[in-house]
Amino acid sequence: MAAETVVAGLTTSLAVGDTLPAAVFRQVWLDTVFECFKLDPQFGDTSTLAPWPLVMKAGEWAVLAQTAERLAAETLAAELELPHRPGLLRELALPRQCRNAIREAASRGAPPAIARVMRFDFHPTAQGWQVSEVNCDVPGGFIEASGFTSMMAARFPGLRPAGDPTAALVDALGKSGPVGLVHATGYLDDRQVMHFLQRALRDRGVDALLLGPDEVAWKDGFASACGVALGAIYRFFPGEWLPNLGWRSGWQHYFRDSKTPQCNPATTLAAQSKRLPLVWDRLGGSYDTWRSALPETRAAQGVVPDDTWVLKAALGRVGEEVGIKGVTAEKELRKIERWARRRPKCWIAQRRFEALALPAGGGSIYPCIGVFTVDGKACGAYGRAASRALVDGNSRDVAVLLED
């Protein structure tokens, strides 16, 4: 299938499934909390877990999965080339220390990669499926895409999950334990994901340690913690935060000079930047699938959010620092415009797409399907539903189920 047709005209089969009876969903909710460690299952009086699934035709999922695999291959090609292109690195709005560490990886060696995981966020639009971004640094959603989704699938005969990204990740890590699960230990939402992965690893007979990034000791390029040599590191700590740890922590080893395999090496931060499309033409690879799936992206100079353009921070995450006229709160929108005007090289402008809404729960929701890949193979979906045309931290988690 040609790249130009991969994501076009495939929005008709996505639908909202039936709502589970309150008592049945209450049990799913409790099991997700106590069996999957999701300790923040609501904000205010609203559950973050949706009592209904998003239902997709299996054939449509196959096309999204193939598209994600092509995107993963193109993203990996960019990651491998960028350390050797310091001139291009300067255009990605990375912190200076991170940029230097990525550049040094070209000569001193990037960490050996193991279980490369990415998540591509697809949105149904009037123009077909379109991708808003990739999280190739520290993608989240494992609890929801694996644990919660499997529990919902058990209540819907005839429907099945799109896959199990947690199982795929654990399989890719293999018997390389003990695995250091490195994360921001002060954040509950990060800690719960690490508990979930720790149990999945231990169920496979692989030990795993919950660690802050500064708890890892480095000697001759090998990582250890608590006096134990680590067989691999799974990093759930954003790459741009690493220099904040101070040079004594050895944070540079997450970028280079490591002999301990890592998922994901911090050099992935270069491809995480939303400014990457601005340098595609100067990279050696082909980015045809990205050009087809991603809305037109250009420099932010002189652009204000309107009916045509959206402003995004180069390293924004979880829907933060996204300026959409009529969607982003007016006060926040004015702040984003001011920031982008003052530091345009840290922002991009992206052509606005018409996100499609689906009826759900007496209102409308805007869905997003996050497609996971591990080592380049699609392996599951993380569904979210927003009450407005911006998927952010206030969106609900939704099981994505397939209909054969």
Angle at 275 between CA 84 and CA 191, to 5 degrees: 90
Q: For residue range 44-73, what is the model confidence (pLDDT) as tens digits?
A: 777 899 999 999 999 999 999 999 999 999
pTM, two decimal places: 0.95
**Mean per-residue pLDDT of the chain:** 94
What pLDDT score was predicted for residue 57? Answer: 95
| Statement: residue 9 has pLDDT above 70 | no
CA proximity to 118, closest of 177, 77, 175: 77
CA–CA distance, 142 with 163 (Å, rounded to integer): 11
CA–CA distance, 325 with 344 (Å, rounded to integer): 18
- What is the crossing angle of helices 165-173 and 188-203, to 10°? 60
| Statement: residue 283 has pLDDT above 70 | yes
Contact at 8 Å (CB) between 194 and 236? yes
Q: Whose structure tokens read 């199990």?
A: 164
Backbone angles phi, psi at 66, to 5 degrees: -65, -40
| Statement: residue 6 has pLDDT above 60 | no
Q: For residue range 311-328, what is the model confidence (pLDDT) as tens digits?
A: 999 999 888 999 999 999
Ramachandran area for residue 128 (φ above 0: left; ψ -120 to 50: alpha; else beta): left
Q: Whose structure tokens read 């927003």?
A: 386
Question: Facing residues of 122 across strands?
Answer: 131, 369
Cα distances (angstroms) measured from residue 361 to each of 98, 189, 306: 45, 26, 30
| Statement: residue 363 has pLDDT above 80 | yes
Q: Whose structure tokens read 């998927």?
A: 391
Q: For residue range 234-275, what is the model confidence (pLDDT) as tens digits?
A: 999 999 999 999 989 999 999 999 999 999 999 999 999 999
Q: Whose structure tokens read 């998003």?
A: 54
